[in-house]
Chain A
Amino acid sequence: MNITLKVWRQAGPKDAGKFETYQHDGIVEEMSFLEMLDVFNEKLLEAGTEPIAFEHDCREGICGSCGCMVNGRAHGPKDGATLCQVHMRSYKDGDTITLEPFRAKAFPILKDLVVDRSAFDSIIQAGGYISVRTGAAQDANMRPVEKAIADEAFDAATCIGCGACVASCPNGSASLFTSAKIAHLNMLPQGEPEKYKRATAMVTAMDDAMFGACSNHEECEATCPKGIGVEYISQMNKNLIWGELFEHDS
């Protein structure tokens, strides 16, 4: 099949950037979306031009490296999938595909479709952990954890840190990302002691990193490739309120 690619090309962080339009033919259905881009990049290389820069690594939906806006939707047309999990059978001959980087104040563009998502790391560094030293733990089965709670903590922990939620949010908020990590740790008995401190520190870090506020658009949930839900955001807000009360009490 033949498609028209409209791609955001930006040489570096300081470059203004613009869309370029290309024709790409000879695409087969079994190709993954990223393989389609690989093949196109080979063509650019043969012509001696710089290929389109895009991030990817595992190519199976788990590392969170890949992702850009595809026809205005983060990770492309499929629900519950990252861009590397999209196959060209989702498209037909003659389609136009527009590719743009994830845009957000907190995610500066580095080149073409590559953005800097290190602001996510700073949120985790502020409190996305349980403070336990190596070697200090008791036997793992000493403290049973109800299966339903363990399962739910796991669901919250499946976030891959891709940034689709931020790019889809009109405010560029990282509330879904942040709240999912808080939920994972705060739900477990191990995470209990630092519960309020964690929520406050992570939310402060999120604000400091130039992410916007949440105003309940819920676009994040709609595009999250891992199906993480907005209920964690309200849990996070409750943690914050309790945290404040707690602080004033003590």
Chain B
Amino acid sequence: MLDLNSRCPDGPIETAWDRHRQSIKLVNPANKRKYTVIVVGTGLAGASASATLAELGYNVKAFTFHDSPRRAHSIAAQGGINAAKNYQNDGDSVYRLFYDTVKGGDFRSREQNVYRLAQVSVDIIDHCVAQGVPFAREYGGLLANRSFGGALVSRTFYAAGQTGQQLLLGAYSALSKEINSGKVKMHNRSELLDIVKIDGHAKGIVTRDLVTGEVTSHAADAVVLATGGYGNAFFLSTNARGCNVTATWRAYKRGAGFANPCFTQIHPTCIPVMGDHQSKLTLMSESLRNDGRVWVPKKAGDFRKARDIPENERDYYLERIYPTFGNLVPRDVASRSAKKMIDKGHSVVQGGSGVYLDFADAIKRLGKDAIAEKYGNLFDMYKQITGDNPYETAMKIYPASHYTMGGLWVDYNLMTNVPGLYAIGEANFSDHGANRLGASALMQGLADGYFVLPYTIGDYLAPQPHGFDDTSHPAFAEAEAQVKAKTDKLLSVGGKKSADHFHKKLGKLIWEECGMARTEPGLKSALERLPAIREEFWSQVSVPGSGAALNQQLEKAGRVADFLEFGEIMLRDALTRNESCGGHFREESQTPEGEALRDDENFQHGAVWEYAGEGKPSIRNEEALEFKYVLPSQRSYK
């Protein structure tokens, strides 16, 4: 059994975080420089945490497998970041952001964590502006906002369609400042391959230098994982190609609980799949649903050009079914609705799947220039990929894997159940429950990194002896030996197929049986088919070259091997959770109108998977959830 004490403060939620900060242990400023913290991952969460820890005086060793922190997948976030600033005076508040997020997550997240997230959201915007992040502004010089799904207020801050880029460059600049000051030692092109525990505490990591192949141990007083999500379990996703589960999976194998792996988000507006060679799917930001209208032809199998289909033969199904939220329903609802239309034969892509996202009305209403100013880069991107011009014809879109709400289990301090091991950003499971609202991942990553972890980590460090730096401990040698053995094994298979070949097979299986709709027979059959893919991988994969040099196939194969193991708990989690909630839709559990039907009596909890040893089935633990402020109700966006 895992110790799943959330350590959430009791008492009124409005003051919980303040009281918590008062009560946690502080590290004496003179002692901070005697502690060293390892931060793995330098995306929004990791870069912001590294910079802030260093500013506070800690020594930081930061790691990324990328050639520079600026390449992290966070760079690709398009639409925006939420904050309860209420600059639009449209009735927003910390409480409303909290309420929207708990409801949007379909009552599967912790109230206290979410409330804190909403509280610090306002500080993030202040800080980023001070760093020079060039957010969009109004003519009066004040910050501009747009709306995102699942909210009836305009609270999303943005920088054209490149918000993630600008926020990451901000965090990267803060990190660079601390590298320059000597407080952060940056290790680029270094991949974490194991976590080292000593007397039950996380005290270091083992990495492989991706240029020289050297396997090295690094010791520290605490370890923070900020390694992003596992959306690439589906192979095709909007995630960057390098995104992977390796770091969190290795942490899991060292005893950290993995929470809600089946909570994955399928984003409704991506460019549809266009052939077997496709290597990734491109997101068209949710912000487009501010002005774009989603529709399909009323008649199934109608493949006339969009402009040739008259108004009265179109079904604007989101506006029809959800008149209150219309095109701005949350992602899970929008994705499932698209799937339903396709299943009924209303696809607009011949031989494939897609629905229309149409800007004709918005262009008529606001003019082409206004639309270009808001979405120009997205329209250009769409045209580059498809050859179609969205100013002239409706976009074709379809849902794709995008984000993972599941991740390492963490308590209120963002510490996993392994003392001294923390998880922040998309790598943890903390704030989004069963469905994340748009523009809330950037908010969470930066909240964790700038404003939460740098303080809560003191609570762990203060009573610990400082300056742990002993990589001669046998635990390091053991971990290094395991890493080398795995590398050698991959190099010696001598098969004929690429790692991608198996990744695609896995992705197809997961997409079909554990994607937008899941059933008991489907999940059971997937669980039966998965081991065969794994075995085939280990007998057929081709990894030429050497382990002592830059070897991209070796990197890829190692990551795929972990995904092949991870797939198992994803499927088992989906199978055990015999209810629908948020992005997890079990066909057996739906309302008469076909909406997700929760089963609060049996599933109002986080499911936390515990490693039981090689070849043994993982153990499912539960963390019960309590709702005192936002009472669980059937989510309705009608």
Which residues of A come within 8 Å of B, CB atoms?
11-12, 28, 30-32, 34-35, 38-39, 41-42, 45-46, 48-51, 53, 55-65, 78, 80-81, 85, 87, 89, 110-111, 114, 116-118, 120-121, 124-126, 128-141, 144-147, 150-151, 153-154, 157-158, 160-161, 184-185, 188, 190-191
Contact = CB atoms under 8 A, between A and B. Distances in A.
23 contacts: A11-B549, A35-B278, A41-B498, A46-B497, A50-B545, A58-B73, A59-B279, A59-B280, A64-B70, A87-B384, A111-B550, A121-B176, A129-B131, A129-B173, A135-B127, A137-B130, A140-B130, A141-B87, A144-B140, A150-B141, A151-B137, A154-B160, A191-B132
Contacts of B549: 11-12, 111
A135 B384 contact: no
A143 B451 CA distance: 22
B484 interface: no
A62 B129 CA distance: 21
Contacts of A64: 70-71, 75
B188 interface: yes
Given A35-B279, A46-B496, A147 B139 contact: yes
Given A53-B552, A154-B134, A116 B67 contact: yes
Contacts of B126: 137-140
Nearest to B177: A129
Interface string B63-78: 0001111110101100
Contacts of B143: 140-141
Contacts of B136: 150, 154
**What are the 7 closest A-B residue pairs judged by CB atoms, nearest first?**
A144-B141, A129-B173, A137-B130, A154-B134, A137-B126, A140-B129, A57-B240
Given A35-B278, A48-B542, A134-B451, 10 more contacts: A48-B544, A51-B553, A60-B76, A62-B76, A125-B179, A134-B454, A136-B130, A144-B137, A157-B134, A161-B70
Contacts of B585: none
A53 B210 CA distance: 13
A128 B69 CA distance: 14
A121 B68 contact: yes
A124 B385 CA distance: 32
Nearest to A52: B552
A45 B497 contact: yes
B414 to A, nearest CB: 16
Contact of A81 (B73, B188, B278, B384): B384
B165 interface: yes
B166 A157 contact: yes
Interface of B: 48, 51-52, 55, 66-71, 73, 75-76, 85, 87, 123, 125-132, 134-143, 159-160, 162, 165-166, 169, 172-174, 176-177, 179-180, 186, 188, 211, 240-242, 274-275, 277-280, 282, 380-381, 384-385, 387, 450-451, 454, 496-498, 500-501, 542, 544-545, 549-550, 552-553
Given A116-B67, A185-B132, A158 B179 contact: no
Contacts of B142: 141, 144
B381 A31 contact: no
Contact of A190 (B130, B137, B162): B130
Nearest to B242: A57
B381 A60 contact: yes
B132 A184 contact: yes
Contacts of B172: 124
A128 B280 contact: no
Contact of B127 (A11, A35, A137): A137
A201 to B, nearest CB: 9
B245 to A, nearest CB: 16
Contacts of A30: 274-275
Nearest to A48: B544
B279 A135 contact: no
A148 B28 CA distance: 46
B511 to A, nearest CB: 18
A147 B138 contact: yes
Contacts of B68: 117-118, 120-121, 161
Contact of A134 (B55, B67, B134, B498): B55
A99 to B, nearest CB: 16
B500 A128 contact: no
Given A53-B550, A135-B127, A124 B176 contact: yes
B71 A140 contact: no
Contacts of A48: 496, 542, 544
B451 A135 contact: yes
B280 to A, nearest CB: 5
Given A45-B553, A134-B52, A137-B130, A28 B542 contact: no
Nearest to A133: B55
A4 to B, nearest CB: 20
Nearest to A190: B132
A62 B75 contact: yes
A173 B423 CA distance: 40
A150 B134 contact: yes
Contacts of B85: 140-141
Nearest to B449: A134
Contacts of A11: 549
Contact of B241 (A56, A85, A125): A56
B129 to A, nearest CB: 4
A12 B550 contact: yes
B305 to A, nearest CB: 19
Contacts of A49: 544
Nearest to B543: A45
B168 to A, nearest CB: 10
A138 B130 contact: yes
Contacts of A188: 132, 134
A110 B162 CA distance: 30
Given A45-B542, A129-B131, A57 B384 contact: no
Given A125-B180, A134-B451, A140-B129, A150 B240 contact: no
Contact of A158 (B127, B165, B274, B279): B165
Contacts of B381: 60-61, 85
A50 B551 CA distance: 9
Contacts of A55: 67
Contacts of A118: 67-68, 188
Contact of B162 (A111, A135, A158): A158
Which of A118, A121, A160 has the most chain B CB within a 10 Å cutoff?
A121
A58 B542 contact: no
A49 B127 CA distance: 50
Contacts of A65: 66-67, 71
Contacts of B278: 35
A150 B173 CA distance: 18
Contacts of A125: 176-177, 179-180
B401 to A, nearest CB: 15
B173 A31 contact: no
Given A139-B126, A144-B142, A50 B544 contact: yes
